[in-house]
Amino acid sequence: MDLDAFDATAAELLRRGDRPLRLATKSVRVRAIIKNALTLDGFRGVMTYSLAESVWLADQGVDDILLA
């Protein structure tokens, strides 16, 4: 994954919007990148695709999870 491109895209999305962003973990599968994104101002939590993934991320310390 191109981290510079990820950071640039995240910054642009945050600049355009007036609401917090929720990271879709279906698109970002690397735990370190998920945790890093959640440290950025403007990111609020994650949207997961399965109960198992939600539980796993909760066990990893993610506390704002939307199961879609």
pLDDT (tens digit per residue) in 17-63:
888 999 999 989 898 999 999 999 999 999 999 999 999 999 999 99
pTM for the structure as a whole: 0.83
Angstrom distance (rounded) from CA 37 to CA 59:
18
pLDDT tens-digit map of 13-30: 999 988 899 999 998 989
